[in-house]
């Protein structure tokens, strides 16, 4: 069955401004203040201003998403690219609070910001944090469990770390704890974070550091009393609509208001090679009533850590294993045969369709992702086809993770944030699950 939707340009690249629920006391040492309740953040688009056309914005998103994929020989894996996250969060650090802006990344763990004295730092909009001017700054001892959780560390001058990202950007510094302030008045005490003094690469230009929301112990969500977070991304039509991020115990709270009759829950899967990522099991894909002729092994998480499927809010488009993407393209062309296909790549996307001159809406088939645990995630047309009336095209908001539009094996699949719009997406690190609840995110 095909579903019509208006011709509009979908774009999700966000900046986050934070508001919070009242703080309550907590017995947990790692976080104080909001740890029991959590906090709420309002999301807005990074590229909402300027004179960019819709396709120019989408092309930029495709470029950023491509950097999330690192190809080496026959092994294809997705690694964190510093600065490629689609969200920024504004907060303050220290006593008295010093404001800074950081990239929010669901694909990494470490929380860090640039600190004085800085040997090699990149330009940032706010002053570089000076720990000497904060009365609450405290170095993390090398005996700390969080110090042991670092992938590379030494104890020559405290708990020192070196973090490398997929675009070969690196950050080095010393671990500490600090007071973080959200919305100007709600504080979180003893947050373990990195005080970075040596940064290399071009990947950090969007913010003053990173806030990791990955599955590892160093991330902000793991340091909450209840390690859970959710977001609800509105459909982007070029207007001023905002989206929502919920952290901590309140992360599933809105679910009671919106109902869960169509809630889809699937288990998280662990990949020792990429422990931060939110892996799920993708068993197959249907377009309309047609199941794509793709073997389950196309999405298999292999013993060497390659393959598999992750849910990632920091990637705009969805990237499928080459075999699956090739099958999807061919079936979509078949079912939308009334429109001329454009595979020139001029838009930066693999497949577009030419629209009739006077078209106000188009009908596209429903896309269903068959997930582990018997969960079927149904995506309406606007969650995977991007239409721009001014350019007269409608484009598939997906790509191949295997270096080409056709075959190829071993590619990781990434479910991007366009495919997650108008859903409450709940990440629960206690239950090891992700839930999708169809939601009108304008009303959250």
- Catalytic center residues: 105, 312
- CA distance linking residue 205 with residue 84, whole number of Å: 10
The DSSP bridge partners found for residue 26 are none
Residues 6+ apart with CB under 8 A from 179: 93, 94, 95, 97, 134, 136, 187, 188, 189, 190, 191
What tokens does 169 get? 């950007």
Q: Are 356 and 389 in contact (CB under 8 A)?
A: no
* Closest to 229 (Cα-Cα) out of 19, 441, 430: 430
Q: Are 15 and 43 in contact (CB under 8 A)?
A: yes
Q: Are 129 and 93 in contact (CB under 8 A)?
A: yes
Q: DSSP letter at 175?
A: E
* Closest to 176 (Cα-Cα) out of 164, 159, 161: 159
Q: DSSP letter at 158?
A: B
- Report the b/e string of 336-368 with b at 16+ CB within 10 A: beebeebeeeebbbbbbbebeeeeeebebbbbb
What tokens does 397 get? 């908001």
Distance of CA 295 to the CA centre of its chain: 27
Length in residues, the chain: 444
Q: How many CB atoms lie within 10 A of CB 51?
A: 5
- CA distance linking residue 147 with residue 165, whole number of Å: 19
């Amino acid at each position: 069955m095909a579903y019509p939707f208006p011709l509009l340009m979908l774009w999700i690249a966000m900046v986050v401004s934070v508001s919070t629920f009242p703080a309550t006391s907590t017995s947990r040492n790692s976080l104080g203040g909001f740890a029991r309740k959590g906090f709420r953040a309002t999301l807005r688009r990074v590229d909402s201003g300027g004179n960019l056309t819709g396709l120019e914005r989408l092309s930029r998103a495709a470029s950023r998403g491509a950097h999330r994929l690192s190809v080496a020989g026959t092994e294809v894996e997705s690694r964190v690219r510093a600065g490629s996250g689609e969200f920024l969060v504004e907060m303050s650090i220290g006593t008295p609070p010093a404001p800074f802006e950081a990239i929010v990344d669901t694909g990494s763990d470490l929380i860090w910001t640039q600190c004085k004295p800085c040997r090699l730092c990149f330009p940032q909009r706010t002053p570089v944090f000076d720990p000497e001017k904060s009365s609450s700054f405290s170095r993390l001892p090398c005996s700390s469990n969080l110090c042991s959780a670092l992938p590379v560390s030494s104890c020559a001058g405290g708990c020192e770390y070196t973090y490398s990202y997929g675009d070969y950007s690196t950050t080095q510094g010393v671990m500490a704890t600090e007071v973080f302030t959200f919305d100007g008045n709600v504080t979180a005490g003893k947050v373990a974070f990195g005080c970075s003094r040596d940064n290399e690469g071009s990947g950090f230009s969007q913010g003053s550091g990173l806030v990791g929301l990955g599955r590892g112990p160093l991330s902000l969500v793991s340091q909450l009393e209840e390690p859970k977070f959710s977001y609800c991304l509105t459909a982007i039509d070029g207007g001023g609509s905002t989206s929502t991020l919920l952290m901590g115990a309140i992360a599933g709270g809105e679910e009671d208001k919106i109902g869960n009759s169509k809630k889809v829950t699937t288990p998280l899967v662990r990949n020792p090679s990429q422990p931060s990522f939110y892996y799920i099991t993708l068993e197959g894909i249907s377009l309309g009533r047609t199941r794509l002729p793709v073997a389950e092994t196309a999405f298999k998480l292999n013993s060497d850590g390659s393959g598999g499927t992750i849910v990632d809010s920091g990637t705009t488009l969805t990237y499928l294993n080459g075999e699956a993407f090739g099958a999807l393209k061919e079936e979509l062309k078949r079912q939308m045969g009334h429109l001329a296909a454009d595979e020139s790549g001029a838009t930066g996307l693999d497949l577009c369709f030419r629209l009739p001159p006077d078209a106000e809406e188009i009908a596209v088939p429903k896309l269903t992702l068959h997930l582990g645990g018997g969960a079927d995630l149904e995506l309406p047309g606007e969650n995977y086809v991007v239409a721009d009336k001014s350019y007269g095209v409608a484009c598939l908001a997906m790509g191949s993770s295997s270096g080409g539009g056709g075959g190829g094996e071993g590619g990781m699949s990434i479910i991007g944030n366009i495919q997650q719009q108008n859903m409450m997406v709940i990440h629960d690190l206690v239950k090891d699950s992700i839930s999708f609840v169809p939601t009108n995110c304008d009303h959250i």
